[in-house]
Amino acid sequence: MRIVADLHIHSPYARAVSKEMTLENLDYWAGLKGINVMGTGDFTHPAWVKEIRSKLEPAENGLYRLKGKNSDTRFMLTAEVSSIYSKGGKVRRIHNLIFAPSVEAVEKINAALGQRGNLKSDGRPILGLDAKELAKIVFEIDPNAAIVPAHCWTPWFSVFGSMSGFDSLEECFEEYAPKIFAVETGLSSDPAMNWRWSKLDNIGLISNSDSHSLTRIGREANVFDCELSFSGITSAIKSHDQKNFLFTIEFYPEEGKYHYDGHRVCGYSASPEETQKNGKICPVCRKPVTVGVMNRVAALADREPGAKHANSVPFKNLVPLDQIIAEAVGVGVSSKKVKSEYMTLLERGGTEFDVLGELPFEELKIIALPEIAEGIMRVREGRIAIEPGYDGEYGKVKIFGEKKERISAQNSLF
């Protein structure tokens, strides 16, 4: 079965997350996007677990669905834990995802983690817990559960981050490293960047939205051809078999918040080459820059850009449909015009993923405004310009260079 899965989101109980991120709304928006399996996010929070228990019921093995509703959306029990601790003479700030195969396993994990910190404080709890110890707790409770390092290259809060991470999974997880079968590449890197490092050749590279709002679920996702079950999905990730793990859906990595180096407060961004030339010092404030993902990947890489290996799972770079519509028609992404065109396109063309990646151009020209159809094709073909993100600032995507390009698109398509 073909499955589109987004396994990392957050609930209304996490900081800076929309209160609209309810299970009912996630079910509805998953249908609009074309997502079959949603992570619940935040299963460590007591109030969210209570909602999961009251609103979801078991479906296929290890997956859940809304009670009393004939919906195709399935939920996998997922959470993110922030570990802040000292190791090897440095303060480490590591975020890890936990995938659990049952509510019973979740409650045991929560009981153990609750002894280490306050799980009520945030949907993504901050614990003074070594990532190795987190892995020990989870795997001893349920060996079928999974630990996946989240957004693994982000500078401040990840396993390989330039500011507080490690140089290998073994250094972080020690004897539990062999049980870490996947990492989440994050918005600021794509699989091609990760292929440059041979230590990840036998590690699954998954992509998820890490969404805090409904419109951003699925901005990154995974596409499988496997059994619809917890074990079916985790086995597909482990397999590295392109018959089971078809591809990932990716941001253009330049659009991510930490692709380049720089200082947000100084308005300064730099390529790795410029950073090296400046001795990692910001020329504005004369303090060390935040070293971004592109630079960090290059520091650990043992292959040249463009390299592949035998286990390389393909990927597709996309831009969210509402962003394409907004630029094509020249209005803000949250405007009524964008929302109206978005829903019209889905009514005519299927899900967002269908419109963005599957429908032929000839069909797009029939169902969409000419400039929107042209914008979708430009994104598919990579004919866009991006000002790279840095130090917490998203990159800026330009699909049409000038307003006259939109007018030209309208005229040529008509």
Q: What is the mean pLDDT of residues 234-259?
A: 95
Amino acid identity, position 214:
L
In a domain, residue 269? The reply is: no
Asked if residue 246 and residue 106 are part of one domain, the reply reads yes
Which candidate, 18, 262, 270, places its Cα nearest to that of 9? 18
Asked if residue 360 and residue 226 are part of one domain, the reply reads no
* Residue 277 structure tokens: 């030339």
Asked if residue 328 and residue 249 are part of one domain, the reply reads no
Q: What is the mean pLDDT of residues 158-186?
A: 98
Question: Quick one: pLDDT at residue 403?
Answer: 56
- Give yes or no for residue 414 having a pLDDT over 90: no
In a domain, residue 304? The reply is: no
What CA–CA distance (Å, rounded) separates 235 from 212?
Answer: 27
Domain boundary among 235, 254, 273: 254
Domain boundary among 200, 233, 254: 254
Which candidate, 297, 8, 282, 293, places its Cα nearest to that of 155? 293
What CA–CA distance (Å, rounded) separates 23 from 75?
Answer: 9
Confidence of residue 401 (pLDDT cuts 50, 70, 90): confident
What CA–CA distance (Å, rounded) separates 203 from 159?
Answer: 14
Question: Quick one: pLDDT at residue 311?
Answer: 87
Q: What is the mean pLDDT of residues 175-189?
A: 98
In a domain, residue 293? The reply is: no
What CA–CA distance (Å, rounded) separates 315 from 324?
Answer: 20
What CA–CA distance (Å, rounded) separates 175 from 233?
Answer: 25
Vertex 229: Cα angle to 227 and 233 (nearest 5): 70
Question: Quick one: pLDDT at residue 322?
Answer: 97
In a domain, residue 69? The reply is: yes
**Residue 234 C-beta-side C-alpha neighbours within 13 Å:** 23
Asked if residue 95 and residue 215 are part of one domain, the reply reads yes
In a domain, residue 386? The reply is: yes
Asked if residue 359 and residue 240 are part of one domain, the reply reads no
Inter-CA distances, 22 with 3, 18, 40, 340, 362, Å: 22, 9, 10, 23, 37
Asked if residue 375 and residue 239 are part of one domain, the reply reads no
- The total number of residues shown for the chain amounts to 414
Asked if residue 327 and residue 250 are part of one domain, the reply reads no
Asked if residue 217 and residue 72 are part of one domain, the reply reads yes
What CA–CA distance (Å, rounded) separates 338 from 375?
Answer: 14
Q: What is the mean pLDDT of residues 192-213?
A: 98
Question: Quick one: pLDDT at residue 413?
Answer: 43
Question: Quick one: pLDDT at residue 240?
Answer: 82
* Residue 321 structure tokens: 């449909």
Domains contained in the chain, number: 2
Asked if residue 146 and residue 48 are part of one domain, the reply reads yes
Which helix (H) or strand (E) segment is 138 a member of? helix 131-141
Question: Quick one: pLDDT at residue 241?
Answer: 87
- Give yes or no for residue 402 having a pLDDT over 80: no
Which candidate, 230, 164, 236, 160, places its Cα nearest to that of 200? 160
* pLDDT tens for each residue of 34-55: 999 999 999 999 999 999 999 9
* Residue 364 structure tokens: 């797009």
Inter-CA distances, 359 with 2, 366, 370, 373, 401, Å: 17, 11, 15, 10, 24
In a domain, residue 310? The reply is: no
CATH code of the domain in which 228 resides: 3.20.20.140
Q: What is the DSSP letter of 331?
A: S
Asked if residue 224 and residue 138 are part of one domain, the reply reads yes
* Mean pLDDT, rounded, of the chain: 95
Q: What is the mean pLDDT of residues 351-357?
A: 97
In a domain, residue 273? The reply is: no
* pLDDT tens for each residue of 89-146: 999 999 999 999 999 999 999 999 999 999 999 999 999 999 999 999 999 999 999 9
Question: Quick one: pLDDT at residue 407?
Answer: 45
Range name among 9-13, 18-22, 410-414 with the lowest pLDDT average: 410-414
3-class SS at 65? strand
What CA–CA distance (Å, rounded) separates 107 from 385?
Answer: 47
Asked if residue 6 and residue 107 are part of one domain, the reply reads yes
Question: Under a CB-based contact definition with an 8 Å cutoff, are residues 36 and 3 in contact?
Answer: yes
pTM of the predicted model, to two decimals? 0.95
* Domain, as residue range, for 392: 320-413
In a domain, residue 263? The reply is: no
Asked if residue 152 and residue 72 are part of one domain, the reply reads yes
Question: Quick one: pLDDT at residue 350?
Answer: 97
- Give yes or no for residue 171 having a pLDDT over 50: yes
Domain boundary among 236, 254, 272: 254
Confidence of residue 405 (pLDDT cuts 50, 70, 90): low
Determine the distance from the C-alpha atom of residue 322 to the mean position of all C-alpha atoms in its chain, rounded to a whole number: 18
Q: What is the mean pLDDT of residues 190-202?
A: 97
